[in-house]
Structure 1
């Protein structure tokens, strides 16, 4: 049981430390904390919107916080690093949840806060955002209001991986109002998104161009063949084709069966046979072209 008790104590210490730092960094815009063990001690990375308020003049404020952590929580050699998130404050769920709670405490209407928050977060680059405000919003009964904009994942491994979530609470006259902010950052990769690398795109484009050139060469060869020189086509059919304005095998090849049967004297069977003859001629030309290349 000693090991289990140690894990419980360590996690309890982490929770209390986070609550302490959140309170100390409230004016600086607390955006989260990362606690990591390193060979030299314990590295504590604070994400704040205004680092100057935590560092203090000549580092006085941060030294005070370091000493309190060492004495109150028994952490040996704590090293605090400050991460400035001022430029990306709108993409930090913890900070935005607290801002929503602060706005509600100042008397803002919950709908105004919800709509403006999701809009600002998405405009800052987030792929999607959802704000949930719960409590006594307009009357005596508790209810929840959701404000959603953009892409939001709700469940599964994808939601756990790509969605950042945080909660906060606002103390108002009717009672406590809960706030939950969920957002999808702009740099996340969704499993249903397929990326085509530039190298693969170039290869694909070259193959398409090659196929187009080969097809054009085949059609140019057919263009040189007069319809009178095509085998197994009766003279009366040739005359009908000439009358319809068809001069060479290419023009005939580019017509479909429906176009052919509209010509007087050509039925469905004759039209199908003409298409077969053209395929045979095309195949014969391909064979002759391969021999020339050899």
Structure 2
């Protein structure tokens, strides 16, 4: 993927602010040179003060310089003596009025520039680069970071061929813009050449604060008028007249009678209906009509035709009749003899 985008410049205007706050139309190059001189002078004079960041803010007649350091005592000095010396030195350097602000860094283990500076100093003191990287990673994670990545490039371990060594722990989401990632870079000057040290530290996500709705303040009289206008006008209902005593007594008697009556269930209703139907006598006209209809149906029924006998049945009947005739003749002969 080639080279990576600078993590601080990628998040400018979203969760990070510019290190120099000023606008110049025609004197841009002049102001930029002044900023570079101020930063170089401060870092060179206080190289051992663990300075991480220098912010510059320009007003009409003066320049405000804010120094973020982990050792404010070195910068301030006894009674602020060194601050006065530094401010006078910077005023002579650029020829303008300079005001200094010193801010202490509470947790230097979570500052990427300071972590990179400590690793570079250890490499310059001939300490093994792997050990320096592991110690810095351990301290940063112990301080509360969610992730860290350290990269060293150069002639590591007095090797003849330069190479790059990277170590990381936790997560470092470089593509997430709301992720608070601090980045630092420095160089270790050794007898065999320079070794570059890069550090990325992930501290967590910075979410936007919820916007509060602005409520306009109104005078009390105007608010009362608006509330009165907003209330809807409802119709006034007439008062209910008390019921007459006679009607009330009659209603109570009807309610008592209804309460005494047992509710008729579905089964009881069916039995009552069937008994009523059985008890009702049929009308004479209906009975006569039913009889007439029955007679007509009986007349209309056709008589069943005689079943046709088969040839076998007819032949069997004829044989039986002949056998009976021969028997009768024999009996008659016997009787005569």
Q: TM-score range by the shorter chain?
A: 0.5 to 0.7
- State the partner residue of 1:83: 103
Unpaired runs of at least 5, structure 1: 192-294
1:121 and 2:161 equivalent?
no
Larger % of helix: which? 1
The 3-state SS of whatever aligns with 2:151 is strand
Match of 1:165 among 177, 183, 203: 183
C-alpha distance 105-37 of structure 1, shift in aligned 2 (>3 A): same
- State the partner residue of 1:7: 28
Match of 1:63 among 66, 84, 92: 84
1:49 and 2:70 equivalent?
yes
Distance 1:36 1:16 in 2: 15
Give the conservation status (yes or no) of the 8 Å contact 1:103–1:113: yes
How does the TM-score come out when normalised to structure 2? Answer: 0.51
* Deviation digits for residues 247-272 of structure 1 (CA, Å, limit 9, x no counterpart): xxxxxxxxxxxxxxxxxxxxxxxxxx
The 3-state SS of whatever aligns with 2:107 is helix
The 5 Å alignment of 1:204-243 reads none
Distance 1:32 1:116 in 2: 23
Match of 1:151 among 171, 179, 189: 171
Larger radius of gyration: 2
- State the partner residue of 2:234: none
The 3-state SS of whatever aligns with 1:185 is strand
Match of 2:49 among 28, 31, 36: 28
The 3-state SS of whatever aligns with 1:63 is helix
The 3-state SS of whatever aligns with 1:36 is strand
Shift, 1:49, TM fit:
1.3
C-alpha distance 5-114 of structure 1, shift in aligned 2 (>3 A): farther
Q: Number of aligned pairs?
A: 185
Shift, 1:151, TM fit:
1.4
Unpaired runs of at least 5, structure 2: 1-23, 209-337
Give the conservation status (yes or no) of the 8 Å contact 1:43–1:81: yes
Q: CA RMSD in A?
A: 2.2
* Deviation digits for residues 102-153 of structure 1 (CA, Å, limit 9, x no counterpart): 1111111010111111121111011111111110003111111111111112
Distance 2:194 2:147 in 1: 27
Shift, 1:51, TM fit:
1.0
* Deviation digits for residues 39-91 of structure 1 (CA, Å, limit 9, x no counterpart): 662211111111111111221111111011111123x3211111111x31111
4+ residue runs of structure 1 moved beyond 6 angstroms? none
